[in-house]
Chain A
Amino acid sequence: AQSVTQLGSHVSVSEGALVLLRCNYSSSVPPYLFWYVQYPNQGLQLLLKYTSAATLVKGINDFEAEFKKSETSFHLTKPSAHMSDAAEYFCAVSSSKAAGNKLTFGGGTRVLVKP
């Protein structure tokens, strides 16, 4: 079975400050990990994905995430927050054993950016 835990349902950051969103996963086999972003009244868009090629993954809009197997973590960071980063972020896991290519999502973290 696979599962995802996102620590913190809400995060508030100042514009220009570091954004750090935490994600821990559970998977019985090597996982594939994803971060998605959801802007208001829209569907989810892929930010980045980890597929075992490199532990540090760069995505769109200067976001990056680091896969740490020993900590079963895949935290998302951005060095300098912008007002346009206000959105909800979801971590998700899949694996080669997941029937039907299913993804399992975390509960989401809503980011508020203060001017």
Chain B
Amino acid sequence: NAGVTQTPKFQVLKTGQSMTLQCAQDMNHNSMYWYRQDPGMGLRLIYYSASEGTTDKGEVPNGYNVSRLNKREFSLRLESAAPSQTSVYFCASKGPSHNSPLHFGNGTRLTVT
């Protein structure tokens, strides 16, 4: 019962460095999402993928890129990290109905110095 798996759990970057956050789900969901969580702001959608081969911008896409590698995997890339990207990042997947709930990974805590 793995559900949604994110790696790494923690990461510290220097300004300007790049990195990729990995996410995989084993529930055969078509839709996958990347959110960032900041104190007092809830979760804000960065990018989402409604199905394999498609990606779309969410509320806060600037500074990020994504790849839907296959149905299982959806990665988030920071090309040139900035301190404003210090946050906790969550990947989620969702079943086909509009009333299906999101299933979340345990998050990646990223600090950019």
Tell me, in angstroms, the Cα distance from A78 to B6 when the chains sit together.
Answer: 32
* Interface status of A24 (Cβ within 8 A of chain B): no
Known: A43-B90, A101-B50. A49 touches B101 (CB 8 A): yes
B101-A34 in contact (CB<8A): yes
Q: Which of A49, A94, A95, A99 has the most CB of B within 10 A?
A: A94
A90-B50 in contact (CB<8A): no
Known: A32-B98, A43-B105. A100 touches B42 (CB 8 A): no
A46-B101 in contact (CB<8A): yes
A60: min CB distance to chain B, Å: 12
B98-A96 in contact (CB<8A): yes
A102-B101 in contact (CB<8A): no
List chain B residues, Cβ under 8 A from A106: 42
Closest to A42 in B: B106
How many of chain A's residues touch chain B, expressed as a range?
A: 20 to 34
A43-B106 in contact (CB<8A): yes
A100-B50 in contact (CB<8A): yes
* Interface status of A55 (Cβ within 8 A of chain B): no
B90-A9 in contact (CB<8A): no
Tell me, in angstroms, the Cα distance from A106 to B41 when the chains sit together.
Answer: 7
Tell me, in angstroms, the Cα distance from A9 to B101 when the chains sit together.
Answer: 23
Chain B contacts to A: CB under 8 angstroms = 4, 31, 33, 35, 40-45, 48-50, 56, 58, 90, 92, 94, 96-102, 104-107
